[in-house]
């Protein structure tokens, strides 16, 4: 028969899948390279300075971590608008905990992280509850949470940043690691925060691509009814993705807390939009069912590079917004073109 | 029957089309004359839909030309096709459910008054004229979403008429219709034929072709392997051409029923929604129970309630004597129930996922290792075995479900439920849109499952299939059981009278 299943055909398919993957990230990568060239020109080499490159990585840490959590949510065809406010709320609560808990050093950091993660997870759970029980749109429930969490953060902190007394957070905030690697580039090392980001990205990437849970996330986004009839515990999986997003907010918040040595109710203001932009620029469909963590990282990187470059080139902030918006649009258009070509 | 004019209205010459890893069409030539119904038949994945998509401008051909009235034309998109008078009715209709019938019929060519204001009265007049020409009765001011499938189809046909279609392509138009509705559809098609429209008719229901078609073209593996007038091509010859071999035995012999076989499924006074109103029956191990009835009688709702796809509002379902208290499909699956749904796109498949990912979805725990990691190698092996067992035509198990032909998708839905052999299989219209060869394979599979001791319930609107494949037949009417017939008692007439009359209990 014409379409016998021979291993050669399968191999060929696998190879063309690899080509496809290259093309997919290639588009974004090409954009980055083009930008780099422009940048190197406008900033007279300041951008390519290893110190600056590390700086870019450090700057995107928060966005990338939040976007990793958001990727789970968006693949299920949901959205989490509350992450910015949750960063603020977790920051305030964690700062209070840091000053109140009777621990020191690493133990204190761990305990504070646990407190923050509980807050983030609880908020994610509440986000998901009306979605899975009543079928309310996540756009609305997370919008409500955005307001509530923001209000709560202001109330708890009386509107002022809460400084932390302990110096246990210094390592995460400003510390470096992998000094050997750093010396190669004449740097003090890799910022600890960047390492945290790497861990979050790798773990989420593996969970999404390789585990049963990850498969369920894609299935729900692709066809929620087929998923339900296949016996997938839809409610639990959907709840889990909002909890994951909440926990990511807590982790990002911890890094910010460590960096600024205080928890402020204003920290996360407006974060949700850049987070969603990173996810979408990274090729995840807002309609659900497709997307990757690797793509999200590239998206966050692209936005980070752009910001960095414009800062170096002394572009004033309103122009920066215009450029950022244009690039997001362009990236999405390119992504669509790529899909057209390949379908 | 008027002799069709001999000259071709439209000709497709040497059309070829490849997808990655698939040669869907290979030098196909096909012609349509004015005032004829030209049937296009072939196995699943033979290339029928692809050929017609090229004609409708939905997909470009790699090679070949399309000639209309003797001159070559370029069909670069749906707009071109419309300009040349080519209309296509896909299985999924292109209607706007919220708009009323008249608005749908004139969609895209709304009559307007000076200043660009919509002229609703004129729209209704145009729609009414089209509906009348077709000899139909349609309520013009009702939102299309509220019409029955058969009526929606008529709206599509009226739409084609308003667009002055000269060629009308219908892809499996009878798949979801009742016998009555099919009669009606055929009358409409004849009306169109008399008006000189050339009609391409794609169907897997070969037995209906002598009633409606003038000529037949058979595709196999993307090539034309035969054709002729209906008289020249009797059904067995058509089948031989389609599958490339003789197919004598259509329904396999059913395994004998062991009278002592235990009851696997017991349903007592089951109620669900407003449709299922107190249903009781048993199915034994090794038994195939056919479920017949009119479309809308509640058969789908019954099997959905058993599988907890809808939560029953009353009554009891037990499996192997144990009452099932399912809160959702998850529990039913755990109890050994497999529901093969009728609507593959909406409920059966995640179209963006590969065959492998779809097939393993209901039983992913069988392919998981520690920490919930999915073992792709064992997934691949199980999927390849099923692809072979069900003869699913695909270049690779990594092919996305979206890219498979309709019948192939249906087979993938079946495969999903075979990775783990369930106790009870509920098949809802398992052979809809499936070619003859594959049908026989699915019948074979059902008897195999029964032989292995599973209980099988098969909901089907095709009476010959129910009669040929069931140990017993339950006839459903208005959400209740109108009667149960043994294989020996069952005839077409008895089933139909139970399904339709209000007092025919056996
Ligand atoms: N977009 C696509 N990408 C890849 N392969 C495709 C695509 N569309 C169709 N095919 C393949 O082309 C072949 C012909 O498909 P087509 O849909 O024309 O079959 P068909 O004769 O209509 O079958 P059925 O009776 O099942 O509807 C199949 O092998 C199918 O998998
Ligand atoms: Mg088809």
CB B221 within 8 A of CB B44: no
**A343 — pLDDT class (breaks 50, 70, 90):** low
What is the pLDDT, as a whole number, of residue B442?
A: 87
**A306 — pLDDT class (breaks 50, 70, 90):** confident
What is the mean pLDDT, run by run of 10 residues, along chain B of 506 residues? 62 93 91 95 91 92 92 89 90 82 86 81 88 82 84 87 90 81 88 93 90 94 92 88 74 87 95 92 96 88 95 94 93 94 85 95 92 93 92 90 88 90 92 84 90 94 90 94 92 88 50
Contact flag A3-B22 (C-beta cutoff 8 Å) = yes
Residue nearest to atom 27 of ligand 1 (CA): B406
Compute, in angstroms, the gap from residue B78 CA to the centroid of ligand 1.
19
Contact flag B309-A2 (C-beta cutoff 8 Å) = no
CB B170 within 8 A of CB B89: yes
Mean pLDDT of A238-248: 98
What is the pLDDT, as a whole number, of residue B294?
A: 83
What is the pLDDT, as a whole number, of residue A341?
A: 63
Contact flag A3-B395 (C-beta cutoff 8 Å) = yes
Ranges assigned E (strand) in chain A: 162-163, 176-177, 190-191, 262-263
pLDDT in tens, B329-367: 999 999 999 999 887 778 899 999 999 999 999 999 999
Contact flag B352-A227 (C-beta cutoff 8 Å) = no
CA-to-CA separations, B218 to A1, B38, B225, B403, in angstroms, rounded: 16, 11, 6, 22
Chain A residue closest in CA terms to B308? A229
CB A128 within 8 A of CB A68: no
% of chain A with per-residue pLDDT over 90: 60
**A28 — pLDDT class (breaks 50, 70, 90):** low
Backbone torsion region of residue B117, taken as left when φ is above 0, otherwise alpha when ψ lies between -120 and 50, otherwise beta: beta
User: Other CB atoms closer than 10 Å to residue A300's CB: what's the count?
Assistant: 29
What is the pLDDT, as a whole number, of residue B90?
A: 82
CB A128 within 8 A of CB A220: no
- Phi/psi of residue A189, nearest 5 degrees: 140, -170
H/E run at residue B315: strand B314-319
Nearest to B372 among A212, A223, A227 (CB): A212
Cα–Cα distance for residue pair A307/A319, rounded to 1 Å: 11
Contact flag B361-A232 (C-beta cutoff 8 Å) = yes
Mean pLDDT of A85-90: 98
Any idea what DSSP says for residue B429?
S
Cα–Cα distance for residue pair A40/A82, rounded to 1 Å: 36
Strand-pair category, B71-73 with B424-428: unpaired
Backbone torsion region of residue B325, taken as left when φ is above 0, otherwise alpha when ψ lies between -120 and 50, otherwise beta: beta
CB < 8 Å to B384, chain A: 5
The distance between the two most distant Cα atoms of chain B, rounded to a whole number of Å, is: 79
Structure tokens, A226: 């087929």
Ranges assigned E (strand) in B189-312: 198-202, 215-220, 223-229, 263-272, 276-284, 288-293
Average pLDDT value over all residues in chain A: 87
What is the pLDDT, as a whole number, of residue B1?
A: 43
Chain B residue closest in CA terms to A216? B361
Cα–Cα distance for residue pair B377/A261, rounded to 1 Å: 49
Select the residue from B352, B387, B413, B414 to test the A interface by mutation, using most A Cβ atoms within 10 A: B352
Mean pLDDT of A294-299: 92
pLDDT in tens, A175-228: 777 777 767 767 777 889 999 999 999 999 999 999 999 999 999 999 999 999
User: What SS3 state is found at B59?
Assistant: coil
Cα–Cα distance for residue pair A293/A275, rounded to 1 Å: 13
Atom of ligand 1 nearest to the CA of B51: 18
What is the pLDDT, as a whole number, of residue B381?
A: 95
Any idea what DSSP says for residue B77?
S
pLDDT in tens, A250-296: 999 999 999 999 999 999 999 999 999 999 988 898 889 999 999 99
Cα–Cα distance for residue pair A75/A67, rounded to 1 Å: 12
Cα–Cα distance for residue pair B397/B383, rounded to 1 Å: 7
Chain A residue closest in CA terms to B309? A229
CB < 8 Å to A213, chain B: 372
With a Cβ cut-off of 6 Å, ligand 1 is lined by B 19, 22, 24, 42, 44-50, 393, 403-408, 435
Contact flag B329-A10 (C-beta cutoff 8 Å) = no
Q: Which residue has the tokens 């219209």?
A: B429
Contact flag A10-B357 (C-beta cutoff 8 Å) = no
Residues flanking ion ligand 2, Cβ below 5 Å = B 49, 406
Cα–Cα distance for residue pair A231/A220, rounded to 1 Å: 11
Ligand 1: which of B15, B17, B18, B19 to mutate, judged by most atoms within 8 Å of the beta carbon?
B19
What is the pLDDT, as a whole number, of residue A23?
A: 62
Cα–Cα distance for residue pair A90/B161, rounded to 1 Å: 63
CB < 8 Å to B23, chain A: 2
What is the pLDDT, as a whole number, of residue A214?
A: 96
Cα–Cα distance for residue pair B265/B103, rounded to 1 Å: 48
CB B308 within 8 A of CB B331: yes
| Residue A7 clears pLDDT 50, i.e. is over it | no
Chain A residue closest in CA terms to B334? A231
B341-346 long-range Cβ contacts below 8 angstroms, 24+ apart: B341/A229, B341/B309, B341/B413, B341/B428, B342/B300, B342/B428, B342/B429, B342/B432, B342/B459, B344/B406, B344/B409, B344/B410, B344/B413, B345/B92, B345/B409, B346/A223, B346/A225, B346/A226
What is the pLDDT, as a whole number, of residue B504?
A: 41
Compute, in angstroms, the gap from residue B406 CA to the centroid of ligand 2.
5
- Phi/psi of residue B458, nearest 5 degrees: -120, 115
pLDDT in tens, B461-484: 888 899 999 999 999 999 999 999
CB A264 within 8 A of CB A88: yes
**A310 — pLDDT class (breaks 50, 70, 90):** confident
What is the pLDDT, as a whole number, of residue B249?
A: 62
Atom of ligand 1 nearest to the CA of B44: 26
Compute, in angstroms, the gap from residue B23 CA to the centroid of ligand 1.
9
- Phi/psi of residue B71, nearest 5 degrees: -120, 145
pLDDT in tens, A119-156: 999 999 999 999 999 999 999 999 999 999 999 999 99
Q: Which residue has the tokens 């509640």?
A: B298
Structure tokens, A287: 């309609």
From B14, B9, B57, select the one nearest B33 (Cα to Cα): B9
H/E run at residue B316: strand B314-319
Cα–Cα distance for residue pair A264/A243, rounded to 1 Å: 22
| Residue A60 clears pLDDT 80, i.e. is over it | yes
What is the pLDDT, as a whole number, of residue A167?
A: 86
Cα–Cα distance for residue pair B495/B473, rounded to 1 Å: 8
The distance between the two most distant Cα atoms of chain A, rounded to a whole number of Å, is: 75
User: Other CB atoms closer than 10 Å to residue A9's CB: what's the count?
Assistant: 17
Q: Which residue has the tokens 């755990």?
A: B334
Contact flag A211-B373 (C-beta cutoff 8 Å) = yes
What is the pLDDT, as a whole number, of residue B2?
A: 45
Structure tokens, A83: 């992450």
CB B410 within 8 A of CB B344: yes
What is the pLDDT, as a whole number, of residue B212?
A: 93
What is the pLDDT, as a whole number, of residue A231?
A: 93
Cα–Cα distance for residue pair B339/B333, rounded to 1 Å: 9
For B373-398, the DSSP string reads: BB-HHHHHHHHHHHHHHTT---S-TT
From A340, A265, A288, select the one nearest A84 (Cα to Cα): A265
Atom of ligand 1 nearest to the CA of B50: 18
Contact flag A231-B23 (C-beta cutoff 8 Å) = no
**A17 — pLDDT class (breaks 50, 70, 90):** low
CA-to-CA separations, A100 to A10, A114, A207, B73, in angstroms, rounded: 60, 14, 35, 80
User: What SS3 state is found at B481?
Assistant: strand
CB B40 within 8 A of CB B7: no
From A337, A118, A132, select the one nearest A232 (Cα to Cα): A132
Nearest to B353 among A12, A210, A222 (CB): A222
Compute, in angstroms, the gap from residue B17 CA to the centroid of ligand 2.
15
CA B207-B209-B215 angle, 5° bins: 145
Q: Which ligand is nearest to the CA of B409?
A: 1
Atom of ligand 1 nearest to the CA of B404: 31
Sign of CA dihedral A304, A306, A311, A316: negative
Asked if ipTM goes beyond 0.90, one says no
What is the pLDDT, as a whole number, of residue A254?
A: 96
Structure tokens, A28: 């974004």
């Amino acid at each position: 028969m014409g379409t016998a299943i021979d291993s050669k055909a399968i191999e060929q398919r696998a190879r063309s899948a690899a080509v496809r993957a290259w093309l997919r990230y290639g588009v974004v990568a090409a954009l980055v390279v083009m930008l780099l060239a422009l940048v190197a020109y406008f900033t007279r080499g300041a951008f390519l300075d290893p110190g600056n490159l590390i700086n870019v990585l450090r700057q995107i840490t928060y966005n990338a971590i939040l976007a990793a959590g958001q990727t789970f949510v968006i693949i299920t065809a949901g959205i989490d608008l509350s992450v910015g406010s949750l960063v603020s709320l977790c920051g305030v609560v964690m700062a209070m905990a840091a000053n109140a808990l009777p621990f020191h050093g690493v133990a204190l950091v761990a305990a504070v992280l646990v407190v923050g993660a509980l807050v983030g997870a609880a908020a994610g759970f509440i986000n998901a509850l009306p979605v899975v029980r009543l079928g309310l749109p996540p756009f609305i429930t997370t919008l409500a949470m955005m307001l509530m969490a923001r209000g709560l953060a202001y109330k708890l902190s009386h509107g002022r940043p809460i400084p932390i007394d302990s110096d246990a957070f210094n390592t995460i905030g400003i510390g470096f690691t992998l000094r050997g690697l750093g010396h190669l580039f004449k740097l003090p090392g890799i910022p600890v925060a960047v390492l945290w980001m790497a861990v979050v990205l790798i773990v989420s990437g593996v969970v999404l691509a390789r585990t049963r849970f990850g498969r369920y996330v894609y299935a729900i986004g692709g066809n929620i009814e087929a998923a339900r009839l296949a016996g997938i515990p839809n409610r639990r999986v959907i709840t889990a993705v909002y909890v994951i997003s909440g926990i990511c907010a807590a982790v990002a918040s911890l890094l910010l807390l460590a960096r600024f040595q205080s928890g402020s109710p204003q920290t996360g203001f407006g974060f949700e939009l850049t987070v969603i932009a990173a996810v979408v620029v990274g090729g995840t469909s807002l309609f659900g069912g497709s997307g990757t963590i690797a793509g999200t990282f590239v998206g966050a990187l692209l936005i980070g590079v752009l910001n960095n470059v414009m800062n170096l080139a002394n572009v004033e902030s309103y122009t920066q917004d215009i450029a950022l918006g244009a690039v997001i649009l362009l990236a999405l258009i390119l992504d669509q073109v790529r899909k057209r070509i390949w379908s | 029957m008027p002799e069709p004019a001999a000259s071709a209205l439209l000709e497709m010459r040497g059309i070829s089309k490849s997808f990655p890893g698939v040669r869907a069409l290979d030098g196909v030539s096909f012609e349509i004359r004015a005032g004829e119904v030209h049937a296009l038949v072939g196995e699943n994945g033979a290339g029928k839909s692809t050929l017609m998509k090229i004609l409708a401008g939905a997909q470009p051909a790699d090679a070949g030309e399309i000639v209309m009235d003797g001159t070559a034309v370029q069909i670069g998109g749906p707009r071109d096709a419309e300009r040349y008078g080519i209309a296509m009715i896909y299985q999924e209709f292109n209607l706007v459910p919220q708009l009323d019938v008249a608005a749908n019929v004139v969609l895209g060519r709304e009559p307007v008054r000076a200043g660009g204001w919509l002229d609703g009265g004129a729209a209704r007049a145009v729609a009414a004229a089209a509906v009348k020409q077709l000899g139909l009765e349609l309520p013009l001011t009702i939102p299309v979403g509220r019409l029955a499938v058969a009526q929606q189809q008529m709206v599509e046909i009226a739409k084609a008429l308003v667009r002055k279609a000269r060629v009308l392509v219908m892809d499996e138009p009878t798949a979801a219709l009742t016998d009555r509705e099919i009669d009606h559809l055929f009358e409409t098609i004849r009306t169109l034929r008399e008006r000189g429209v050339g009609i391409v008719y794609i169907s897997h229901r070969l037995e209906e072709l002598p009633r409606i078609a003038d000529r037949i073209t058979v595709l196999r593996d993307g090539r034309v392997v035969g054709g002729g007038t209906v008289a020249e091509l009797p059904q067995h010859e058509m089948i031989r051409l389609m599958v490339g071999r003789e197919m004598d035995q259509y329904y396999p012999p059913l395994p004998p029923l062991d009278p002592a076989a235990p009851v696997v499924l017991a349903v007592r006074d089951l109620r669900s929604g407003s449709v299922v109103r107190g249903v009781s029956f048993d199915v034994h191990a090794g038994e195939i129970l056919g479920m017949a009835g009119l479309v809308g009688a509640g058969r789908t709702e019954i099997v959905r309630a058993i599988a907890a796809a809808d939560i029953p509002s009353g009554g009891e379902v037990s499996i192997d004597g144990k009452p099932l208290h399912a809160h959702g499909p998850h529990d039913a699956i755990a109890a050994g129930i497999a529901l093969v749904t009728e609507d593959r796109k909406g409920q059966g498949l995640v179209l963006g996922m590969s065959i492998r990912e779809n097939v393993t979805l209901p039983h992913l725990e069988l392919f998981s290792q520690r920490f919930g990691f999915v073992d792709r190698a064992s997934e691949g092996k199980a999927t390849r075995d099923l692809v072979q067992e069900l003869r699913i035509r695909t270049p690779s198990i990594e092919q996305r479900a979206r890219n498979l032909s309709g019948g192939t998708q249906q087979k993938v839905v079946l495969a999903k439920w075979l990775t783990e052999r369930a106790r009870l299989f509920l098949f809802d219209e398992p052979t809809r849109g499936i070619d003859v060869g594959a049908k026989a394979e699915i019948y074979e599979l059902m008897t195999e499952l029964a032989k292995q001791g599973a209980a099988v319930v098969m909901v089907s609107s095709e009476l010959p299939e129910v009669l040929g494949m069931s140990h017993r037949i339950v006839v459903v009417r208005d959400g209740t059981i109108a009667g149960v017939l043994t294989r020996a008692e069952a005839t077409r007439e008895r089933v139909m009278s139970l399904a339709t009359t209000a007092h025919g209990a056996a």
